[in-house]
């Protein structure tokens, strides 16, 4: 197969591309606008492969998307391009509306016309896989409740509302036009190459520098944590074996309070980086509680039994094993982190034309 991955220079997208190039014989075309969250250094290990190609194109640019589809002739599209940071969506929702809603619409229309132009066999095998989030479901009420594929949407932030909108568009294009689409909703991802503004890498890097570890409210918010490489395997499983028109929830079976996640990171650092900044007795001493964000959901938790039953996927990493790998990766890749933190990564555009 040849797969077009939108947002392939992002955290999850780059993990998907690395998985495909390293573990399959498929070809990948990476379509990415290269916003602040797009980092081609995350693809250095596969960028020289003859099965990898990069196109710097915005999903909102219909002419650019049409050109890429015509030139590369993909067999499937995996749509991951999205603005994804909740705090940024609260401060400036316009980019989220543009990329997540207008961009998805633009891509759907380009994909629909491309799909309709294919010969019968290729048209029958074509797939449009939309990757979304569990945040579209909003808050869970009871401690035993789980998000299923039938859970109603009640998004709380501009980010989750824009992702919910994009999910609805994909399902509408499937029902109205017959576009062979699939949707996946995942829980919180973590792992290597995660942008440092997100909770786990932020805590790791702040701790190593002796900076405060900011925790919203009392840190009581519960999230289900999914190791990004497990997610990449699941996404490839869905795009190659999933049933057209279906939705699959993908979770890590690792519900943790945010405060417990931060404490676990501190404990890992005590073992892996015992030499602390001057004057610091314990990494846990850096924990700092800050004012909670507006509309902050308390609990997310995924029921991932459908993808296990129908496609045979289960996560390989527990939270403990995945977190240890993640902390160790950040310790081993300080230069990558520093280039992201100082912005110099944005000047390194591997394989990008003028």
User: Could you give the residue numbers annotated as active site?
Assistant: 134-135, 159
The contacts of residue 269 (CB under 8 Å, 6+ apart) are 204, 207, 208, 283, 327
Pairing of strands 222-227, 255-257: antiparallel
Residue 26 CB coordination number (10 Å)? 16
Distance CA 187, CA 52 (A): 28
Q: How far apart are the first and last CA of the chain?
A: 29
Which is nearest to 149 in space by CA: 309, 38, 334, 33? Answer: 309
Distance CA 135, CA 112 (A): 27
Distance CA 252, CA 191 (A): 12
Distance CA 90, CA 68 (A): 33
Distance CA 195, CA 330 (A): 11
Do 182 and 128 contact (CB within 8 A), yes or no?
A: yes
DSSP 24: S
Which residues, in sequence order, are bridge partners of residue 128?
77, 181
Residues in the chain: 354
Do 272 and 264 contact (CB within 8 A), yes or no?
A: no
Tally of helices (H runs) and strands (E runs) in the chain? 13, 12
Distance CA 298, CA 222 (A): 6
């Amino acid at each position: 197969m040849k797969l077009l991955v939108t947002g392939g220079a992002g955290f999850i997208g780059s993990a998907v591309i690395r998985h495909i190039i390293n573990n399959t014989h498929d070809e990948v075309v990476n379509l990415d606008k290269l916003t602040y969250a797009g980092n081609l250094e995350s693809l250095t290990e596969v960028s020289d492969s003859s099965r990898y190609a990069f196109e710097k194109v915005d999903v909102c640019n219909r002419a650019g998307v049409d050109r890429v589809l015509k030139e590369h002739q993909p067999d499937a599209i995996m749509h991951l391009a999205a603005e994804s940071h909740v705090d940024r969506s609260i401060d400036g929702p316009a980019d989220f509306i543009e990329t997540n809603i207008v961009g998805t619409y633009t891509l759907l229309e380009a994909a629909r016309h491309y799909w309709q132009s294919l010969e019968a066999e290729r048209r029958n095998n074509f797939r449009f896989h939309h990757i979304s989030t569990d945040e579209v479901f909003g808050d869970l009420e009871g401690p035993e409740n789980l998000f299923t594929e039938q859970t109603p949407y009640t998004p709380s932030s501009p980010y989750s509302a824009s992702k919910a909108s994009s999910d609805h568009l994909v399902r509408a294009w499937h029902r109205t036009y017959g576009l062979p689409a699939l949707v996946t909703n995942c829980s919180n991802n973590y792992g290597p190459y995660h942008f440092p503004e997100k909770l786990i890498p932020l805590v790791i890097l702040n701790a190593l520098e002796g900076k405060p570890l900011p925790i919203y409210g009392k840190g009581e918010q519960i999230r289900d944590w999914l190791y990004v490489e497990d997610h990449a395997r699941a996404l490839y499983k869905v795009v190659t074996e999933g049933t057209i028109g279906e939705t699959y929830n993908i979770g890590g079976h690792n519900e943790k309070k945010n405060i417990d996640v931060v404490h676990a990171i501190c404990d890992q650092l005590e073992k892996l980086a015992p030499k602390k900044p001057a004057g610091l007795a314990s990494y846990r001493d850096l924990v700092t509680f800050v004012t909670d964000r507006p509309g902050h959901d308390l609990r997310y938790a995924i029921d991932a039994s459908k993808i296990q039953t129908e496609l045979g996927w289960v996560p390989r990493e527990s939270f403990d094993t995945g977190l240890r790998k993640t902390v160790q990766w950040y310790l081993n890749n300080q230069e990558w982190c520093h280039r992201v933190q100082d912005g110099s990564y944005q000047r390194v555009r591997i394989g990008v034309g003028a």
